[in-house]
Amino acid sequence: MIFLGYLRGCAQCTSATDEFTIIRGLALQQNNRQVVWITGASSGIGAALAKTYSHKGAKLLLTARNSQNLELTRASLSAPELAEIYPADVTIREDMSHLMDKFDSLGSFPDTIILNAGTYKPMSVADFSSGSIREIMDLNFHSVALAIELLLPRLKSRGTGHIAVVSSLAADKGFPFAGAYSASKCALVRLCESLQVELLDLGIYLSVVQPGFVSTPLTAKNKFPMPFMIGADDAASLIFKKLQKKHLSIRFPWQMSWIMRVISCLPESLALKVNRWMAK
């Protein structure tokens, strides 16, 4: 009887130990879960990235100006319960400072930040407007600079973090009707290039993502041929894989990347002929 009681006690002890192990494992899983903040998450590449990271089990913090579209993005995720929406205008300091305070209060500040919010507006000589250029620069460039300014003290104190800035292959060359867009995306590349070395010494990665033509509501505005276009989901999958490997420069698709590198190295006379052909 004493022996049977001993076995029964051991069984209960083992069961309790197993339960503790499961609970501890779930807690560790939660603690080790990647926390990702994505701006411009209501459509296009941002929404596709949210789906990709959700499928991989990340906790998501999603930002855009349109809260209804953010809700639609969250509803489309494989794990919507692990996503929180934070509507904000990324060009407004007060909105962004408020977001940083909210993230601080979460107890799990984002370790991966994807600054994806941006816009595109074709502009010809006929409708040239410095005001429109300022609006594009505010969203595409200045909002990123603002986010980095607010993020750096927090990431430096942690000694770790990964920021990904979404630029474009259009940064390589100024093409007809895309001057403001190309200028804003080129400014992003140069800014990030200038910061990368210092940030690496602090344990912070700063990646520059330069897509070619991706099927999104923005590229739907274009009236010209868009070679080597890929879907938003394919773009998000590629970006995810490269960021997981800590690539500092992510350019795709490779065919368009090489074409843009060649065009950017052409003599001015030949580059002008290319621009004339594109303007037709």
- For residues 116 and 38, is the Cβ–Cβ distance under 8 A? yes
State in words which class domain 35-279 has. alpha beta
Is the pLDDT score of 242 beyond 80?
yes
pLDDT at 247: 98
Could you tell me the end-to-end alpha-carbon distance of the chain, in angstroms, rounded to an integer? 96
pLDDT classification of 279: cutoffs 50, 70, 90: low
Domain ranges of the chain: 35-279
Tell me whether residue 138 is exposed, middle or buried, using C-beta atoms within 10 angstroms of its C-beta: 0 to 12, 13 to 18, 19 or more.
Answer: middle
Nearest to 51 by CA among 72, 30, 26, 28: 72
The percent of residues above 90 in pLDDT, for the chain, comes to 73
In the annotation, is 181 catalytic? yes
Per-residue pLDDT reduced to its tens digit, 154-177: 999 999 999 999 999 999 998 888
Among 53, 120, 181, 205, which one carries the catalytic annotation? Answer: 181
